Amino acid sequence: MQFRTMKHHEFYERLPKRARYSLSDACGATATLKDILSEKEIAAVASVPLIYGSVEGREDLRAGIYALYQHLYPQLGVENITILSGTEEGLFSIMACILEPGDEVIGMLPCYPSLSDLPACFGGVFKPVKLEYERHWQPSIDDFAAQISERTKAIVINSPHNPTGMLLDQGFLDCLIDLCKQHDLYLISDDVFVFSDFSGVGSQLGILHYEKAVLANVLSKTFGLPGVRIGWVMSRNEELTESIRHLKTYNTICQSQLDEQVACFVMQKAELIIERNNEIVRKNVELFDDFVAISDSFSWHKPEAGMLGLVHSSKALKPLLEAWFEKDVLVLPGELFGIEGNYFRVGFGKKDFSEALARISEA
């Protein structure tokens, strides 16, 4: 097995310096333990025995996570959830457990690089469904159907989408599930932005009634806590769940007990953190929309959910991004996510978004 660096990590490594601001960041407002936990809770974290934990993750943590899904899946429970180190480990584990050499995975492009690159790590092939600006970044069911072959093993989706901000609706998902049923395919849903439902459109969709569906989510994005390496996968498929847990015994064995304790407290105040962080995103999206409206070179499809948007520039991109970098603002080009042309990604989660925007707005 051969792994190559993910394109955007390579890009970060090559930067001459760190920029003060990142206008493309995909995470919610940065927080410290002191920002999110009380003194009593911090003391409780300090008293956690530093032993191995359980492979599947603490039961009370899984119960806290399940509370976010109970309205959608009252018939599921903690046994359907496995805690892993981020969605990254979730996606890796899912693909490792289901793919054989030669298998094909269909997914949208542009996309978060793991989704397109991971299949090749297991001898598989990624088959892209191309998203286009002119179609509001929306794929069609026919686009997916056209990519199916005898070797197709899975369809992978991500909605709200990185990097376009595109949102799939439940009707689309239901048709996609029908397609998966017809061809006996896994449906993998990278759900990292579903709780960033800042305009209340309902970005959390129901897929787990399908036996071969699995979702992955994390504390990194909506909750703004990527340094607490806690993510989860959820599926009603017992065989897949068992296989992922078996893989974990060779891999991380269990989570950091400190991370799990922090995540337990976070889940107790999940609604509050989600609402607070979504308010930041909501304001930043409006600010950016005003910025686009008065610009003569930028256009975009304003996202309704998630934390990201993909913007087109009629001016050449490279000199523009270099000039912004000189102003200490890092902006990522769309090519890192597999799209050609003058596109750049914007992330709306940060509290200092307006400061970064003011810098790039200066003449």
Q: By C-beta, is 26 or 266 nearer to ligand PLP?
A: 26
Give the Cα separation of 231 and 220 in Å (integer): 8
| Contact by Cβ (8 Å): 153, 99 | yes
Q: By C-beta, is 26 or 264 nearer to ligand PLP?
A: 26
Strand order in the sheet with 152-158: 81-84, 231-234, 213-218, 186-190, 152-158, 104-109, 125-130
- Residue 247 CB, shortest distance to ligand PLP, in Å, is 16
Q: By C-beta, is 87 or 93 nearer to ligand PLP?
A: 87
Question: What is the chain's length?
Answer: 363
Give the Cα separation of 201 and 174 in Å (integer): 17
Stretch 41-80: interaction string toward ligand PLP, x if CB under 6 A = ----------------------------------------
- Residue 28 CB, shortest distance to ligand PLP, in Å, is 11
Give the nearest residue (CB) to ligand PLP. 86
Residues 287 to 346 in contact with ligand PLP, rule: CB under 6 A: none
Which segment (84-92, 144-152, 172-180, 312-320) binds ligand PLP by CB under 6 A? Answer: 84-92
Peptide bond into 160 cis (omega under 30): yes
Q: By C-beta, is 41 or 190 nearer to ligand PLP?
A: 190
Q: By C-beta, is 180 or 218 nearer to ligand PLP?
A: 218
Other CB atoms within a 10 A radius of the CB of residue 344 amount to: 24
Give the Cα separation of 288 and 282 in Å (integer): 10
Determine, following the binding rule CB under 6 A, whether residue 112 of this chain makes contact with ligand PLP. Answer: yes
Q: By C-beta, is 190 or 260 nearer to ligand PLP?
A: 190
Determine, following the binding rule CB under 6 A, whether residue 260 of this chain makes contact with ligand PLP. Answer: no
Determine, following the binding rule CB under 6 A, whether residue 26 of this chain makes contact with ligand PLP. Answer: yes
Determine, following the binding rule CB under 6 A, whether residue 82 of this chain makes contact with ligand PLP. Answer: no
Determine, following the binding rule CB under 6 A, whether residue 226 of this chain makes contact with ligand PLP. Answer: yes
- Residue 119 dihedral angles phi and psi, to the nearest 5°: -50, -40
Residues 152 to 191 in contact with ligand PLP, rule: CB under 6 A: 158, 162, 190
DSSP type of residue 254: S
What is the distance between the terminal CA atoms of the chain, rounded to a whole angstrom? 49
Give the Cα separation of 334 and 340 in Å (integer): 7
- Decide: residue 131, CB within 10 A, 0-12 exposed, 13-18 middle, 19+ buried: buried
- Residue 363 CB, shortest distance to ligand PLP, in Å, is 32
- Residue 268 CB, shortest distance to ligand PLP, in Å, is 21
* Number of chain positions touching ligand PLP (CB under 6 A): 14
Give the Cα separation of 233 and 329 in Å (integer): 34
Determine, following the binding rule CB under 6 A, whether residue 81 of this chain makes contact with ligand PLP. Answer: no
Peptide bond into 110 cis (omega under 30): yes
- Residue 215 CB, shortest distance to ligand PLP, in Å, is 11
Angstrom CA distances, 37 to 146, 261, 274, stand at 49, 11, 15
- Residue 107 CB, shortest distance to ligand PLP, in Å, is 11
Give the Cα separation of 360 and 355 in Å (integer): 9
Which positions lie near ligand PLP, rule CB under 6 A? 26, 86-88, 112, 114, 158, 162, 190, 192, 218, 220, 226, 231
